[in-house]
Chain A
Amino acid sequence: MYPDEPAKGESMAANDDVLRMPREQIEELQLERLKKTVVDCYENVPFYKELFDEAGFNPYDVKTLDDIQKAPFTTKQDLRDNYPFGLFAKPLSEVKEIHMSSGTMGVATVGGYTQRDLETWGECFARGIKFANGTPEDICHICYGYGLFTGGLGAHYGSIAAGCMTLPMSAGNTKRQINVMRTMGSTILCCTPSYAMHLADTAIEMGIDPAEEFSLRAGIHGAEPFSDNFRAELEKKLNYRVLDIYGLTETMGPGVAIECWEQDGLHLAEDYFLAEIIDPETGKVLPDGEWGELVLTTLCREASPVVRYRTRDITCIKTGECKCGRTHRRIARLHGRTDDMLIIRGVNVFPSQIENVMETFPEVASWYQIELDTIGSLDTVTLKLEVNPDFTFDEISAIERLQKKISTRLQEALQVGIKVQLVEPKSIPRSEGKAKRVIDLRTYKNMS
């Protein structure tokens, strides 16, 4: 049911040899880079000096890769506390680009990139294009959002590094995306899986059979989890192969791990990241094959290095070798999170961000519920709020004005469209223990 594997390309920026290095050599390279990273953090970032000293971790005494386990963890809160530039290991004059995870000013996390960091990023993402056997003959159609979100520009640098013709479409304007895809013959599609499905469905609605009329060979889809069934449906509708890509702003962006053509786990860019899986309760490192929280240490990051960053993403390191012959270890496709973060159309949203916005509106009570659903293939979010007794709800226009005002404020704060619905008092169920704030009815979230 998959299209045949295309012929191997000749000219590629992404270096495939490094992905086939013997394990001992990879680990040697990792150790050498790890030693540099922890010393660099200790000497150039006051936060890490304090953190290491407090934990009694001596960065000059790293002898093996396992010695990283003596180092303390870094959390998202640490990154927030040091907003905006507190964790940079380079002077600002060397930082060429900034990306930010979504969030209000108070909760955003910032990543800085030197010129070399941008090149590393491009190379990591280009590996995904390499995994799809991409060549300069390919047309890479990017409809991740461009901007502070890492999706758009990460894919862009990857496509440029891979030598592809790059279409910086950004998100939205679906009909134009479809027309460009059809008339230019885009071969590799980079976007969220839900947007890929939306493109396919919209094309079908327009009377276009995307399986026939598009020239897609591969899709590199990530930024949100998707089930195997969802993948199968995408591949059928668009007649291409879907490769899952993983990444996060805190360590770089998309490209930390990417699936190869075998679709059997995501190869970590082990020359750039050291991955551990821990028990999220105890912090203890788990053996390969066991599920736990992914912890990442950057190995070459210049501007924003992180040591033992707790991603909160749940996965495992797959045992055994990949059929493709590449030696970089693989993580399993992501299976949820250890915190309450929601991923809505690729954007990270914490319920606390919604609470912060609600607090600024005296018209509504503090009870709320977030309902996530899919309409077609796109996530929809409805925020149900109870109105306060003193709110004048006699006129529909007044209710609608308030809903619109809250919705606009949420859009500004979260960068994602949320429908606001005022509901009757006491209609949101009060639970005995932890409030059930989030109802997730999204179909593709049901991981197999």
Chain B
Amino acid sequence: MINQITVFLENKGGRLASLCRSLADAGVNMEALTIADTADYGIARIVCDKPEEALKALEEAGYRAKITKVVGVELPNRPGSLAELLEFVDEKNLNVEYGYCFSNATDTATQVMKLRDIENAAVMLKAAGFDVI
């Protein structure tokens, strides 16, 4: 299970840059950053090495930030590995709120998913042989 940082961002110039600066100043290293955007606001989702510190730094800087538990699945770097995972998720009717993929190594990629009933979902994924982190 991953402790993802979620930040509510207004759609305004410079907000993302200053968010990253706050994390950098706190010595936080990001592994992934994705933004869900609408016309008026965005939600930044961050995977990083020190989520607790990151949360503290962002709150101090006045951001509306939260820790959200998400499931990460490590996938081999080959065609079809993500499809297999998502087919399993679909088959088991695991409800995905959102997901994104990142890769910091050459031989694997990580698929992050926000699932309903996350504890149970993680157990099912593990039992099916997926590499849950």
With beta carbons under 8 angstroms apart, the residue of B6, B10, B36, B66 that contacts A427 is B10
Residue contact A424 to B38, C-beta cutoff 8 Å: no
Instruction: Tell me, in angstroms, the Cα distance from A140 to B43 when the chains sit together.
Output: 52
Contact-residue bracket for chain B? 10 to 19
Residue ID in chain B nearest A403 by CB atoms: B40
Residue contact A395 to B98, C-beta cutoff 8 Å: yes
By a CB distance below 8 angstroms, the chain B residues around A423 are 10, 41
By a CB distance below 8 angstroms, the chain B residues around A387 are 8, 64
- Indicate whether A393 sits within 8 Å of B8 (C-beta atoms), given known contacts A423-B41, A424-B64, A425-B62: yes
By a CB distance below 8 angstroms, the chain B residues around A114 are none
Instruction: Tell me, in angstroms, the Cα distance from A423 to B42 when the chains sit together.
Output: 10
By a CB distance below 8 angstroms, the chain A residues around B113 are none
Q: Whole-angstrom distance from the CB of A381 to the nearest CB of chain B?
A: 14
Q: A249 interface residue, CB < 8 Å from B?
A: no
**Which residues 373-399 in A have Cβ within 8 Å of B in the complex?**
387, 389, 392-397, 399
Residue ID in chain B nearest A389 by CB atoms: B64
Give 1 or 0 for each of A404-448: 1 = CB within 8 Å of chain B CB. 000000000000000001111111000000000000000000000
Instruction: Tell me, in angstroms, the Cα distance from A393 to B38 when the chains sit together.
Output: 13
By a CB distance below 8 angstroms, the chain B residues around A424 are 8-10, 15, 41, 62-64
Q: B97 interface residue, CB < 8 Å from A?
A: yes
- Indicate whether A421 sits within 8 Å of B64 (C-beta atoms), given known contacts A393-B8, A395-B98, A395-B114: no
Residue contact B41 to A394, C-beta cutoff 8 Å: no
Q: B29 interface residue, CB < 8 Å from A?
A: no
Which of A387, A395, A400, A426: most chain B CB closer than 10 A?
A395
By a CB distance below 8 angstroms, the chain A residues around B63 are 424-425
Q: Whole-angstrom distance from the CB of B64 to the nearest CB of chain A?
A: 5
State how many residues of chain A have any CB contact under 8 Å with chain B.
Answer: 17
Instruction: Tell me, in angstroms, the Cα distance from A394 to B112 when the chains sit together.
Output: 14
Residue contact A396 to B43, C-beta cutoff 8 Å: yes
Residue contact B62 to A421, C-beta cutoff 8 Å: no
Residue ID in chain B nearest A396 by CB atoms: B36
Instruction: Tell me, in angstroms, the Cα distance from A387 to B66 when the chains sit together.
Output: 13
Give 1 or 0 for each of B26-67: 1 = CB within 8 Å of chain A CB. 000000000010101101010000000000000000111010
With beta carbons under 8 angstroms apart, the residue of A394, A397, A422, A426 that contacts B6 is A394
Residue ID in chain B nearest A393 by CB atoms: B8
Instruction: Tell me, in angstroms, the Cα distance from A422 to B36 when the chains sit together.
Output: 15
Q: B68 interface residue, CB < 8 Å from A?
A: yes
By a CB distance below 8 angstroms, the chain A residues around B41 are 399, 421-424
Q: Whole-angstrom distance from the CB of A109 to the nearest CB of chain B?
A: 35
- Indicate whether A421 sits within 8 Å of B9 (C-beta atoms), given known contacts A393-B66, A394-B66, A395-B114: no
- Indicate whether A425 sits within 8 Å of B40 (C-beta atoms), given known contacts A393-B6, A393-B8, A394-B114: no
Residue ID in chain B nearest A386 by CB atoms: B64
Give 1 or 0 for each of B94-126: 1 = CB within 8 Å of chain A CB. 000110000000000000001000000000000
Instruction: Tell me, in angstroms, the Cα distance from A80 to B97 when the chains sit together.
Output: 47
By a CB distance below 8 angstroms, the chain A residues around B36 are 396
- Indicate whether A425 sits within 8 Å of B64 (C-beta atoms), given known contacts A387-B8, A394-B114, A396-B38: yes
Instruction: Tell me, in angstroms, the Cα distance from A387 to B97 when the chains sit together.
Output: 21
Residue contact B9 to A394, C-beta cutoff 8 Å: no
By a CB distance below 8 angstroms, the chain A residues around B40 are 421
Residue contact B43 to A394, C-beta cutoff 8 Å: yes
Name A residues whose Cβ lies closer than 8 Å to a Cβ of B: 387, 389, 392-397, 399-400, 421-427
What 17 additional pairs, Cβ within 8 angstroms, besides A394-B45, A421-B40, A424-B15? A387-B8, A393-B8, A393-B43, A394-B43, A394-B66, A394-B97, A395-B97, A396-B36, A396-B38, A399-B43, A400-B38, A421-B41, A422-B8, A423-B41, A424-B10, A425-B63, A425-B64
Can you report 23 A-B residue pairs in the complex whose CB atoms are below 8 A from each other? A387-B8, A387-B64, A389-B64, A393-B66, A394-B6, A394-B43, A394-B45, A394-B97, A394-B114, A395-B98, A395-B114, A396-B38, A399-B41, A421-B41, A422-B8, A423-B41, A424-B8, A424-B9, A424-B15, A424-B62, A424-B63, A425-B63, A425-B64
